[in-house]
Structures are given as structure tokens and as C-alpha cells.
Chains A and B, each alone.
Chain A
């Protein structure tokens, strides 16, 4: 019961934040230089007076500000994100079409960074002070400082251009109709480079965090007790140290979900991955603000959903957590 209450509480909070972002979107359109109708229409729409009139009527731009806000929120809540004049399609259709590739990319990158990052961190903590520990630490430092788009480009240069192992862009091989496993394999091949690129930075973060966290837990009394009981070292590491050390990493992983989605703009641009990040880039190029704000709202919703999921998972994993807090 308490848990349900906790989840409901978080859910309400998430909805409030989402509404806040809708209001923020509205303010951004109002604050942008120029006529809001022109802003919403994008530069291309500026010449089309009929379309502008239609926008003014739809969003009530001749009404008081509060009414406008109300109209805007009402539109968004009914999933009317406006119309992309550039692409001649409703924004919501564009978003729905581009969401699955992004979920595939960010999801893969998330798992990859968490699994490999934690593994590297554990490995580094086990051999603390030796050269392999230093190597992992130095690598983590480097990836932490490298711009994503540059890693991506250099990856293309090495693995696609020089070695010819992996495709450099897109999600499918162009002009070859595939189905079933062949299709999955094809998408998988295209996924390797972008997912790795997106994962590297967070891999570095989690490796460093896991290492520090492992070292901290390792010196605690219950670990000494376990060792005194004669439990095998591997067992201690897995069941006593790692289990406790991984909790803060999982929390941070949930919090960092937003960065993963931000990073996907850059990565999808480099690899021409047909997701919402690439859509955002196209929207920026074409000054298609309706689409851009749609991407912003959708990605915020994704972050809120991930945060909620993390809270729930965390409350299940760690019974010590206070549900009321």
C-alpha cells in the first residue's frame, strides 16, 4: 500500500514537471524574437499569410496571454503538437515515427554503458594500484573528456572507412529489402557504432563511480565479517561488496538518462540514425520550431519516465529506502 502511494506520488510529480515544461515551451515561443505565429510556422511559413492566420486562430494569438496559454496546454494535452510546415505533416506523426529508433539506440547504449562500465569498475577495484587499474582509470578520464561527435567520426574513420567492418550511417542497408533475422542482423550491424559512441562517455562515468564505490564498501565491517567467516573472495566480492556498491551507480544511471537523450542528438546526427535526435537536428537546420519543441517535450517525458522507473526499481531493490521521502 505504501509502495503504491509512493509511486502515485512520483507519478503526480512527473505530470506536474511535464506541465511545467509545456508552459516553458509556451514562454519560449512568446519570448523568441518576432511574431509567435511566424516562430511556430518556421521561416518557410513566414510568407504564407493564410497559414499564419490559421495559426493565430488555433492558438488564439489575438486573445489575452492567459487564454493563449490555456489554448496551448489544451492542444498539447490532446496530443496536438502543431503542424510541421516544412515536412507538411503533423508533428505528433513525425515524433511517433522517429521514437522507436531512438529508444533502440538509447536503450542499447544505456545497457552497454551500465554493464561494461560496472564490469570495468569492478575490475579496476580488484587490482587497485596495479597498471591495469591505472589503464582503466586513464581510459575513463579520456572518454570523459572526449566530445561524442568526434568519437563517432573517428569510429567511422577507423571501423568503416579504413577497416570496412561496420556500416557508417543509417539504420538499414539502402536498397536491399530484408526481413526477419536478416533484418535484425542488418539493424544490429548499423547499431554497433552509434550505440558504442553514445555509451562510451557514460561507461567512463560508471566505471569511475563503481571503482570508488567498491573501494568504499570493501573496507566496511560487514565485509571483514564475511571474510572472517571464511567466505571465498569471489563470493564476497559478488554478494557483499558489489551488491552494495552498485546502488549509487544505479541511481546515477537513472539521473543521467537525460544526458543519454541529449547525446543522441549529436550521435544520430553523425550516423544519420533516423530517430528524434536527428529530427531535432533537421528542425534546427530548418528553423522548424514546432518540431524542435515537440522533441523537447517528448525527450523530457522520456527522462521523467526513466526517473520514475528508477525510483520504483530502487525502492524494490533497496528495502532501506524511505518511501515517504
Chain B
């Protein structure tokens, strides 16, 4: 564990990313204490510029931009993490079964995976959320539906190589059940690449969520960064701050997650050379 921390810390970008991510998490956790009122309520006159009475100004309806960002942080992180967990679970299950059993099962599952990878993912997500009415549930499902294939392919690859290793063959000889071998013997050995791709998926999920809510497909009861930009894009000429700051929040969060993901990749795969990367 000590070596892991040291290897992670060697990647300066990852350390910065972790710091930013922790800051975003802190904002999501404690920010609503500073801004206890609903972010949908009028906090003052509309179109107040930033750094005055309101730290980040107010929007067309006099809603406090800072309050929106603080409450939006919860929604973005929540959707990002939950959607990723769902996608990773489905991907691991499909990939593990395909890689472990091989043959026809593998063929069928990989055809399915390929099918879902061919579909333009964002268009599919838009269609899913629009048809199943926008809400946190449909957004999570839509993001998970378009993100699991990448995990499935990754896990299948890992399983294909691990399947032939001696410790797995030993378990087979010992008469262990497939379930035991998949989850207790093989999966723990495939966990590092899953964690790495999972952390990068959270970033993508947040981007997709923000795009969906920008298009008006967000949960109507939850303030989100994408919604804030979508709602104020027509007034960008007169009130740049209403779309600038929420976008900055998305950028910083996604950037931090990507950096942390890369740091994790470095720390978990010490064998990979860092030369020139």
C-alpha cells in the first residue's frame, strides 16, 4: 500500500487531480450548509455580476449561480458514480461470463457487446432518456447502457488470459464451482484495470449527464451544471458568468477525475514503463 501511494504521488498531475477532486467532494458535502436555501429560489435581483453581493452572480431569474453550482456538484457526482457502478457491474458480469466460458457463450455476448458499441452512444442516451421521461433513474440507466460494453471487453480480455493460468486450473481440478472461480479466483486479479477504467468512466458519465441536462433532459427536480448552462445560454451575451462558472465546474471535475485515473493506472501497473508518457 505504501508503494502504491508513492507511485501515485510520483505522478504530479494525479496529485493535483486528487486535490481538486477532494475539493469538489468537499463542496458537494458541505456546500449546501453554506447555501442552505433551494438553488431554484430567487436570491436577489436578476443579472447581478459576480464578485459583488453574490459571489458568482445571479442568473436570468435571480437565482444564485454559486448556490446552483454547490447543489449541482451533488447531482453530477451522484449520477457519475452511480451510473459507473451500474455500468461496471454489468460489464464485469458480461465480460467475466464471456471470457470464462468462451465458445458459443463468448460469441453471443461479444456480438451483443459489439452491437451496443456500434450504436452512436450519445444519440442512444438521448433517445433513452427522452422516451423514458427525464429523471435521475432514466439518466443513470441511459449512461450505464451506453458505457458497459467497454468494461465488458476489458474484463473479457483479462479473463481470457487469466483463465489459462495455473492457479485457475488448480481450482478447476479441485472441483470449485464456476461461480467461485470467477468471483474469488479470477476477478480479484483483474481488479486494477477495472478500477482504472472505472475512474475514467465517472468522468465520461459526468460529461454525458451535463450534455443531457444541457439539452433539457436532466431531472427536472435537481439542479445540475448542464441545466444551468442550457437555461442561460440565450443570455450569454449579457451575462457570461451564468454559463461560464458552471462550465468551469464541469471542466475541473472531469479533468481531476481523468488525472486521478491516469495516476491510478500508473500506480496499479508499475510494470508499465513511464518512459516518455
Which chain A residues have a beta carbon within 8 Å of chain B's beta carbons? 17, 20-21, 24, 28-29, 31-33, 39, 128-129, 141-142, 144-150, 153-154, 156-157, 161, 212, 215, 258-259, 261-263, 265-266, 269-270, 280-281, 283-285, 287, 289, 292-293, 295-296, 299-300, 302-304, 307
Is the Cβ of A284 less than 8 Å from the Cβ of B132? no
Is the Cβ of A147 less than 8 Å from the Cβ of B255? no
Is the Cβ of B240 less than 8 Å from the Cβ of A261? no
**Pick from B210, B215, B237: contact of A161, CB under 8 Å:** B237
**Pick from B118, B131, B226, B259: contact of A39, CB under 8 Å:** B131
Residue on B nearest A277 in the bound complex, by CB: B123
Q: A17-B115, A150-B247, A259-B122 are in contact. Are A145 and B276 (CB under 8 A)?
A: no
Whole-angstrom CA separation of A156 from B251 in the bound complex? 18
Q: A141-B258, A161-B237 are in contact. Are A303 and B118 (CB under 8 A)?
A: yes
- Across the A-B interface, give the 10 residue pairs with the lowest CB-CB distance, nearest first: A262-B122, A150-B247, A258-B120, A145-B255, A145-B254, A32-B131, A215-B276, A261-B120, A299-B120, A284-B130
Whole-angstrom CA separation of A154 from B207 in the bound complex? 17
**Pick from B122, B131, B243, B250: contact of A289, CB under 8 Å:** B131
B56 to chain A, nearest CB (A): 15
Q: A150-B229, A157-B236, A259-B120 are in contact. Are A212 and B277 (CB under 8 A)?
A: yes
Provide the main secondary structure of the chain B interface: helix
Whole-angstrom CA separation of A34 from B26 in the bound complex? 42
Is the Cβ of B123 less than 8 Å from the Cβ of A261? yes
Total residue contacts A-B, CB cutoff 8 A: 136
Whole-angstrom CA separation of A306 from B255 in the bound complex? 30
A246 to chain B, nearest CB (A): 18
Q: B217 interface residue, CB < 8 Å from A?
A: yes
Whole-angstrom CA separation of A154 from B229 in the bound complex? 11
Q: Which of B216-241 contact A (CB under 8 A)?
A: 216-217, 226, 229-230, 233, 236-237, 240
Is the Cβ of B251 less than 8 Å from the Cβ of A147? yes
B229 to chain A, nearest CB (A): 6
> Can you show 10 pairs from A to B with CB atoms below 8 A apart?
A28-B131, A31-B132, A141-B255, A141-B258, A153-B233, A263-B122, A266-B215, A289-B130, A300-B118, A300-B120
Beyond contacts A157-B237, A296-B120: 8 other A-B pairs, Cβ-Cβ < 8 A, are A141-B255, A146-B254, A147-B214, A147-B247, A283-B130, A284-B130, A299-B120, A307-B118
Q: A145-B255, A261-B123 are in contact. Are A269 and B215 (CB under 8 A)?
A: yes
Residue on B nearest A20 in the bound complex, by CB: B115
Q: Give the interface centre of A142, A259, A269, A284 by most chain B CB atoms within 10 Å.
A: A284
Provide the main secondary structure of the chain A interface: helix
Q: A32-B132, A148-B211 are in contact. Are A153 and B247 (CB under 8 A)?
A: yes
Is the Cβ of A296 less than 8 Å from the Cβ of B207? no
Is the Cβ of A284 less than 8 Å from the Cβ of B217? yes
Whole-angstrom CA separation of A300 from B229 in the bound complex? 28
List of B residues within 8 angstroms of A262 by Cβ? 120-123, 125-126
Whole-angstrom CA separation of A144 from B237 in the bound complex? 26
Whole-angstrom CA separation of A296 from B244 in the bound complex? 31
Is the Cβ of A150 less than 8 Å from the Cβ of B258? no
Residue on A nearest B256 in the bound complex, by CB: A145
Residue on A nearest B13 in the bound complex, by CB: A141
Residue on B nearest A269 in the bound complex, by CB: B215
List of B residues within 8 angstroms of A149 by Cβ? 211, 214, 226, 229-230, 233
Is the Cβ of A258 less than 8 Å from the Cβ of B132? no
Whole-angstrom CA separation of A263 from B118 in the bound complex? 15
Is the Cβ of A270 less than 8 Å from the Cβ of B233? yes
Is the Cβ of A33 less than 8 Å from the Cβ of B211? no
Is the Cβ of B237 less than 8 Å from the Cβ of A147? no
Q: A141-B259, A292-B127 are in contact. Are A21 and B119 (CB under 8 A)?
A: yes
